[in-house]
Amino acid sequence: MENVQPPVNPDAEISLLDLLVTLADNVKLLILGPLAAGLTALVIAFAWPQKFESVALLPGDQATISVMTSTAVLDPVIVSLGLNKTETLQEARLSLLRRIKAVVGRDKLLALTVSGSSPQQAQATAQMLLNATYEQLQPRDSNKARLERQLVEAQLRLKNSQLAATSLLVVLERSSSQEKKGGFDLPRGAAELLGASSAALSQALALEAQLEGLTDSQLVQAPTLPEKAVSPKKGMIAVGATLATGFFLLLLVFIRNGLKNADADPASAVKLAAIRRALSWRSLPKA
């Protein structure tokens, strides 16, 4: 018994051939159109203002960010950059704030990112912002006087504990063959003196750091000089424009071909004529 071949659907073959014919008839448009759009987008991307970002890392917290974005810090930077010459002070503040991004990471480091139209501008703006922040974080008046008094007291305690530790070492050397002398536990006394000396040293260093405030010496990473622009992404813009234009032209070609075929069909032609009349401005009632 011979195998019966399934009947071929002529409509499917015709539809596929129609699609291929439509693509062949419009191949130049479908190729040259997206390429032209991609090249145009690339030219526009090159002409678009570039943005560079300078990044600095420093110890800080949310309080440091609050100071960094305060008017006391922003206004001197605005004046130094001359931003208030073309904008009001409020507009210049908002414009500068949009260029600043400060985030505290899990490592307790504050990452400061400042954008600019050139690498030098981004780096200079970041450094100005840091300098103004340093100045605001410096202790002043009564707070500074209090820290200075505490530092003097801590230094005095450190000096006394060091003298006591030195004297104890002399006693230990003289009585190396004895565990105790005069009811005083020498090893325990030495440990206590060393602990007191270490605590006094830590307190003195902490107070000195508070008096010094935040400086460039504490930066983990100074403001960088960016080498590449972060925007616009020229390649992505060109590729996106090419793909979007290609899809639009392909859709347009098939719609135009469908309308052309519909005009050739009497039943479809009547429906299209009704649609055109419904959408025509002339069909609107006159006032």
Residues 77 and 146 in one domain: no
Residues 112 and 64 in one domain: yes
User: Are the CB atoms for 114 and 97 separated by under 8 Å?
Assistant: no
Give the residue numbers spanning the domain of 242. 10-47+234-283
Residues 31 and 68 in one domain: no
Lowest average pLDDT, out of 38-52, 128-142, 152-166, goes to 152-166
The answer to the question of residue 217 being in a domain is no
Summarised one tens digit per residue, pLDDT across range 224-281 is: 999 888 877 777 888 888 999 989 988 888 888 777 766 666 666 666 677 667 666 5
Residues 172 and 195 in one domain: yes
Residue identified by tokens 């009349």 is: 277
Eight-class DSSP state of 280: -
Lowest average pLDDT, out of 12-16, 25-29, 85-89, 113-117, goes to 12-16
Residues 56 and 25 in one domain: no
The answer to the question of residue 226 being in a domain is no
Q: 81, 113, 138 — which closes off a domain?
A: 138
Residues 34 and 85 in one domain: no
Q: Is the pTM of this model over 0.85?
A: no
- Please, which pLDDT band fits residue 8 given cuts at 50, 70 and 90? very low
Q: 182, 212, 242 — which closes off a domain?
A: 212
The answer to the question of residue 1 being in a domain is no
Residues 165 and 208 in one domain: yes
Answer whether residue 33 shows pLDDT above 50: yes
Summarised one tens digit per residue, pLDDT across range 145-164 is: 777 777 777 778 778 777 77
Answer whether residue 69 shows pLDDT above 70: yes
Eight-class DSSP state of 116: E
Residues 197 and 267 in one domain: no
Residues 96 and 112 in one domain: yes
Residues 32 and 71 in one domain: no
In this structure, the number of other CB atoms found within 10 A of the CB of residue 79 comes to 14
- Quote the percentage of the chain above a pLDDT of 70: 74
The Cα-based distances of 62 to 41, 44, 76, 268 in angstroms read 41, 40, 21, 68
The answer to the question of residue 228 being in a domain is no
Residue 92, token pair as written in the block = 């210049």
Lowest average pLDDT, out of 5-9, 52-56, 150-154, 272-276, goes to 5-9
> What is the reported pLDDT for 163?
77
Residues 103 and 152 in one domain: no
User: Are the CB atoms for 123 and 139 separated by under 8 Å?
Assistant: no
The answer to the question of residue 224 being in a domain is no
The sign of the CA dihedral 66, 71, 72, 75 is positive
- Please, which pLDDT band fits residue 91 given cuts at 50, 70 and 90? very high
The answer to the question of residue 223 being in a domain is no
Summarised one tens digit per residue, pLDDT across range 180-221 is: 444 445 556 666 767 777 777 787 777 666 666 678 888 899
> What is the reported pLDDT for 186?
52
Residues 82 and 134 in one domain: yes
The answer to the question of residue 219 being in a domain is no
The chain-wide mean pLDDT, for the chain, equals 79
The CATH number that applies at residue 131 is: 3.30.1370
> What is the reported pLDDT for 287?
47
Q: 138, 161, 176 — which closes off a domain?
A: 138
User: Domain count of the chain?
Assistant: 3
The answer to the question of residue 218 being in a domain is no
Tell how far CA 182 is from the center of its chain: 67
> What is the reported pLDDT for 147?
72
